[in-house]
């Protein structure tokens, strides 16, 4: 199957998935409500102790990185649901690209991520967060967020194809998210973490994306925060982009390989 054929089939599957979202908008409740809850809790419950208004400027970049990472669980759950209901079996009986089936899922889930980004930006503006950068930087930053969302969705796809049940996929899809998101510089500077956790956080892709977003939006850390240092922080956009490409390069082939293995059963 050619690349053009894979893209065509992926587009068809993506349209099917988006139509399903339009008919059941309740599926987006978590993607909309979760970032609002995180913004409000961290900005108003913990924000006073972490820098007040200055912390809100710092917070939104971390919320965006964390939410898009968590959105990979949507890919895991809904792809596992398609497997469990037999939809993927029907796809396998058709002359469709194996890559196209998974590509359609990961591409359509960008809709959830776009909605989450819009909600977070709107919520941030409502609590006093502002963009302090020029239009070019802002556009590049939003493109990075979409690339990161697309990359993490391939992790969700691999989890779904490994678990093959909605319940297991949901559990596995959330299990890895908490350490990855919270041992990072999403909500505090990585240099504030102790010992080896600092090194892990500095090189964590979530930290790189959060840092690149803050730099792209012109948001400075609160005055009481230790400034993030090291090569990943100094080259956040480059490192974050490289991490996204690496995630896709690793998880896309193994997800497709797993799909082929399932097809032979």
From residue 65, give the alpha-carbon distance in Å to each of 73, 125, 133, 204.
14, 17, 19, 11
CA distance 11 to 30: 25
Kindly report the pTM of this predicted structure: 0.90
As a residue count, the chain comes to 265
- pLDDT tens series, the chain, 265 aa: 567 777 777 788 888 877 776 666 666 677 778 888 988 888 888 776 776 678 888 999 999 999 999 999 888 988 888 888 777 767 777 777 777 888 888 998 898 899 899 999 999 999 989 999 999 999 999 999 999 999 999 999 999 989 868 888 888 888 899 999 999 999 888 888 888 999 999 999 999 999 999 999 998 877 767 666 789 999 999 999 999 999 999 999 999 898 888 766 5
């Amino acid at each position: 199957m050619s690349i053009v054929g894979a893209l065509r089939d992926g587009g068809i599957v993506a349209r099917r998935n988006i139509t399903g979202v339009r008919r059941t908008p309740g599926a987006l409740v978590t993607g909309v409500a979760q970032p609002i809850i995180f913004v409000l809790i961290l900005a108003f419950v913990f924000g006073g102790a972490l820098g007040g208004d200055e912390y809100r400027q710092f917070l939104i970049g971390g919320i965006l990185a964390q939410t898009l990472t968590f959105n990979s669980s949507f890919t895991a759950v809904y792809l596992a649901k398609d497997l469990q209901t037999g939809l993927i079996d029907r796809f396998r009986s058709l002359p469709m690209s194996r890559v196209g089936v998974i590509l359609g899922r990961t591409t359509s889930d960008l809709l959830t991520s776009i909605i989450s980004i819009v909600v977070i930006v709107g919520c941030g503006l409502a609590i006093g967060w502002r963009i302090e950068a020029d239009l070019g930087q802002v556009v590049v930053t939003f493109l990075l967020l979409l690339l990161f969302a697309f990359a993490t969705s391939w992790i969700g796809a691999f989890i779904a194809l490994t678990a093959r049940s909605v319940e297991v996929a949901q559990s596995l899809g959330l299990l890895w998210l908490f350490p990855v998101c919270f041992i990072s510089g999403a909500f505090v500077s990585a240099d504030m973490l102790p010992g080896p956790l600092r090194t892990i956080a500095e090189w964590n892709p979530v930290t790189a994306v959060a840092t690149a977003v803050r730099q792209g939006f012109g948001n400075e850390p609160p005055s009481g925060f230790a400034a993030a240092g090291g090569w990943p922080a100094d080259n956040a956009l480059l490192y974050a982009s490289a991490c996204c490409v690496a995630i896709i390069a690793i998880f896309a082939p193994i997800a497709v390989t797993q799909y082929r293995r399932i097809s032979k059963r």
